[in-house]
Amino acid sequence: MNATRDRLIIFDIDGTLLLSGPVARELFLRAFEEVFEVAADPRDLSFAGRCDRGVVSLLLQRANASQKLPASFPRFARRYASLMREVYPTAKGPYLLPGVKDLLFALREDPSILLLIGSGNLPETARVKLARFGLDALFEHGVYGDRHEERTALFAAALALARETLGWSGAKERAWIVGDTVSDIEAAQEVGVKSLAVATGPTATDDLRRARPDALFADLSSLEDVLGVLVV
**pLDDT exceeding 70 applies to what percent of the chain?**
99
Give the pLDDT band (50/70/90) at residue 1: very low
CA distances in angstroms from 148 to 43, 56, 154, 183, 202, listed in the order given? 22, 11, 6, 14, 22
What value does the CA radius of gyration of the chain take, rounded to a whole number of Å?
17
Tell which phi-psi region holds residue 43, choosing left (phi > 0), alpha (psi between -120 and 50) or beta.
beta
Give the list of residues 6+ apart from residue 210 with CB closer than 8 angstroms, or none: none
Contact 191, 181 (CB under 8 A): no
d(CA 2, CA 10): 17
Task: Write the DSSP symbol of residue 14.
Answer: B
Residue 3 scores a pLDDT above 90? no
Give the DSSP letter string of 83-126: HHHHHGGG-SS-EEPTTHHHHHHHHHT-TTEEEEEE-SS-HHHH
181-220 in b/e form (b: 16+ CB < 10 A) is: bbbbbbbbbebebbbbbbbbbebeeeebeebebebbbeeb
Query: What average pLDDT score do residues 170-191 get?
Result: 97
pTM of structure = 0.95
- For residue 168, name the pLDDT band (cuts at 50, 70, 90): very high
DSSP state of 134: T
- 120, pLDDT greater than 90: yes
208 Cα distance to chain centroid: 17
As separate numbers, helices (DSSP H) first and strands (DSSP E) second, the chain gives 9, 8
Instruction: Give yes or no for residue 30 having a pLDDT over 70.
Output: yes
Q: Mean pLDDT in the chain? A: 96
Task: Report pLDDT digits (tens) over 40-59.
Answer: 999 999 999 999 999 999 99
For the cut 50, the answer to whether the pLDDT of residue 206 exceeds it is yes
Angle at which helix 182-191 crosses helix 151-164, to 10 degrees, equals 50
